[in-house]
Structure 1
Amino acid sequence: MPPKRKSTDAPGPAKKSRAASPSLDEEKDPEITKILNKRWSRVSVTRNADEGFRLDNRDPVKAFTFTCFGRAPWFFPGYEDDEENDLDESDEELEDYEKEEMEEKRKNKEEANPASILKPAAEFPDEKWIFTHAGIRRFSAYTASTTVRDAENFGLQVYNDSYGYGIIELVENMLVDFEEVKADWKKQWAVCEGVAIYMQGDTIMPMIGCECGDEVNELCHAVVDMFLSLLAQLERKDLLKPDSEIKNIGAVMGLFIRFIIDVEGSGIDWEDHEFKIKAYAAKHDITIHGLTGKRYTTPAKEGIELPAATDKDPWGWNKLFGSLRKEKGKHFGGDSTDITSWTPAERKNHAYGRKDPFSAKDLAEIKKGGIIGPA
């Protein structure tokens, strides 16, 4: 039985909380607005989260500055402490995986450094979990866009798997984000960082358990193929090496591998994706981080052949992305499952008591660029 992932589920309608970020009204950028209008509804939290990301990362130097995360991305201190108190390692009834999980939590806790959170990585040279400023902001934007896709958390009843389909839409947006910046490998790296961090929590699981199994399997493949395509590009640019200017290659590799292994137990059928990433690491002498515990320390697999570094699209990413987008047309990605993009009448139609979960104050906040979600 695989270890549990962090749960963010909340029973019943949740209270709402507003982000402590300032209104975006005073920072509007005409060029960014054009992009937003092409991708999003006129009003939605998804749009606001994307706009906040874009405004904050206009300076390319700031965007590619490495920042400390302060902990392993799958380690959630408050939640982990509560769960650890419920277990006793001396209990003979504990299964081996539970004891192993407890040991990993202790190591994660010892490794975490709250004092380094969001501080420049240059000030903490021994910090393992560092990401670019843009990568962390990508992750934050994806997280903000997640809560507003869980209709039940706001007291709305839509249909079975509505949350799962919402996460599918969000993951499709991640692929679009990557393709949108294909002319800039640094921006693509930030997308992969954000995706890799996001996949460590349980927010991806509603998608994994969705009834459309084949679509989910294909989308999971696309996420990792996206990363493989970037690794191939970095190899061509001679950036896959221990002393690369990309200081967290091994960390991001490890996070993608953890994602692969975590969802494999839920029915995702991989095609040696884990070993392809490991083959790149072995070829270029890169140390992979985060593969602790027996389930993540799988032996290398022989016979994994990497494409020639000169190949421009060795993993078929361009064809795959084009196929996925063509299949769903205008319904690929977007914010239609973000309930803040709905009209008040649409929300009332799905609400208990036919009452919009958002007050006039909430809606005004969203229209001004605010982020709102369950508390």
Structure 2
Amino acid sequence: MLTATNTNAAPSATRLTKSAKVSGATNAPGASGLTECPIKFVCVPRPFWDFRLEYKGESDDDDEDENAGSPREKAWNETLEEARKTWLRPATEFPGYTWTLSLKARKLNKKYDLQTQKRDQDAFGMFIYNDFTGYGLQEVIQNQLSAFNNEFTSEKPSPFTMWYMIESLAWWFNSSDTMLWNMIDDGERVCETLQIVGLTVLSTLNNLEQADLFKNDSVIPNIPLILSLFLGFLGNSADAMSVRGEDQDWPIAITAYAEKHDVKIKGKYGISGKHYRANRLSAKKIALVKKAASVDKWRFKQRYREFSAAYGNGGVEFDITKMPEAERKAKAFDNEDPLDGMPAAASEDQSTDADEPFQKVGSKEDEEG
């Protein structure tokens, strides 16, 4: 069933002192008058994919951990009970609360989660070819990068819009199983994609810096969390990326940026700037981080043009729901159209629900967030 995974976010009030439109907010140097935030942030429960890192046993498949009376399940239920106190509440009401997300990012989360589901051949009972689902994940990533590029190259790119786009990107990488993407037969494409992902983050931080939004008392409350999510999804591959050259040392550059602005990276379990020490950067890259913010300091436009020329801008090629019916039947295990037994797929353009109820503690839905 194609339904949007709940990303544990909900509407809230803004943290504003004067009005500003997301699409029109300036990112010009010295735009320190941005004392309000045109996007809404809310408190969300700690997601299960982070919780399990803390309570992970010797084996993720250990049935003992799944029992209602196990220490892990008790701790998870307690976590959710505590989360009820902040569910749907504005982030501004709970200063210092770690798990916050903008409603704009939550909407994108739903969109890209649905795109991910539509490209999973196993979920449709089909076999197209070995790397089909992996390339489907590649397409979803490129759809996100293409959307970011459209904003970045627009006439008046907004640092707020860029921020909620990378919020969603960070959440997607942490909540999605990207193993099949890492295993596609074009490893160079995966590495080059990670390079562009890094440039979206560094370019956004540069624009936040231009607008005087990269600081501890920023109107954007979840900078430490989102940076920890970008460092966290890389796992053990960050060191391998670093030795491939300066193009892949962006996780360490994130730490250097945070140190420059005295922002402590925290949020995802077990992740901090200590894992990616800034002093491991080359002198050239350290100088670039320390250099004053400027338009396209990280040359994102040029690098993305080269990337898209080689790999395109995403699309719907791997969306199974858009395949011809005859092709779906031919690739299905039972030679029937898998869409015949499914409800109509939800729209990818969903609004956030201000009255969304809190999930039942211990339900399967809790683990999918």
**TM, length-normalised to structure 2:** 0.70
The question of 1:192 aligning with 2:166 is answered: yes
Q: Which residue of 1 aligns with 2:254?
A: 277
| Correspondence 1:76-95 to 2 at 5 A | 86=62
Q: Which residue of 2 aligns with 1:316?
A: 299
Secondary structure class of the residue paired with 1:290 = coil
Contact 2:228 2:272 in 1 (8 A): no
| Cα 1:179/1:141, change in 2 over 3 Å | same
State the Cα distance separating 1:122 from its structure 2 match: 2.9
Per-residue CA deviations over 1:139-172 (Å, capped at 9, x if unaligned) read 2221121111111221111011111000000000
State the Cα distance separating 1:326 from its structure 2 match: 1.6
State the Cα distance separating 1:350 from its structure 2 match: 0.9
Q: Which residue of 2 aligns with 1:236?
A: 210
Q: Which residue of 2 aligns with 1:74?
A: 49
Report the Cα distance in structure 2 between the residues aligned to 1:166 and 1:217, rounded to whole angstroms.
Answer: 16
CA RMSD of aligned residues (A): 3.9
Report the Cα distance in structure 2 between the residues aligned to 1:128 and 1:136, rounded to whole angstroms.
Answer: 16
Report the Cα distance in structure 1 between the residues aligned to 2:349 and 2:102, rounded to whole angstroms.
Answer: 24
The question of 1:218 aligning with 2:195 is answered: no
83, 89, 102: which one pairs with 1:114? 83
Q: Give the AA of the match of 1:235.
A: E
Per-residue CA deviations over 1:240-267 (Å, capped at 9, x if unaligned) read 1111111111111111111233544787
Secondary structure class of the residue paired with 1:239 = coil
Contact 2:329 2:335 in 1 (8 A): yes
| Correspondence 1:119-268 to 2 at 5 A | 119-182=89-152, 183-264=157-238
Contact 2:50 2:268 in 1 (8 A): no
Report the Cα distance in structure 2 between the residues aligned to 1:241 and 1:105, rounded to whole angstroms.
Answer: 37
Report the Cα distance in structure 1 between the residues aligned to 2:257 and 2:223, rounded to whole angstroms.
Answer: 11
Per-residue CA deviations over 1:12-33 (Å, capped at 9, x if unaligned) read xxxx355699xxxxxxxxxxxx
Q: Give the AA of the match of 2:62.
A: D
| Cα 1:131/1:155, change in 2 over 3 Å | same
Q: Give the AA of the match of 2:303.
A: L
Contact 1:73 1:200 in 2 (8 A): no
315, 323, 338: which one pairs with 1:334? 315
Q: Give the AA of the match of 2:292.
A: A
State the Cα distance separating 1:274 from its structure 2 match: 1.7
State the Cα distance separating 1:204 from its structure 2 match: 2.0
Secondary structure class of the residue paired with 1:131 = strand
Contact 1:261 1:296 in 2 (8 A): no
Q: Which residue of 2 aligns with 1:356?
A: 337
Flag structure 1 segments of 5+ consecutive residues without an equivalent. Answer: 1-15, 22-58, 90-102
**TM, length-normalised to structure 1:** 0.69
State the Cα distance separating 1:119 from its structure 2 match: 3.1
Contact 1:291 1:297 in 2 (8 A): no
Report the Cα distance in structure 1 between the residues aligned to 2:223 and 2:173, rounded to whole angstroms.
Answer: 16
State the Cα distance separating 1:72 from its structure 2 match: 4.8
State the Cα distance separating 1:120 from its structure 2 match: 2.2
Which moves more between the two structures, 111-120 or 310-319? 111-120
State the Cα distance separating 1:271 from its structure 2 match: 2.9
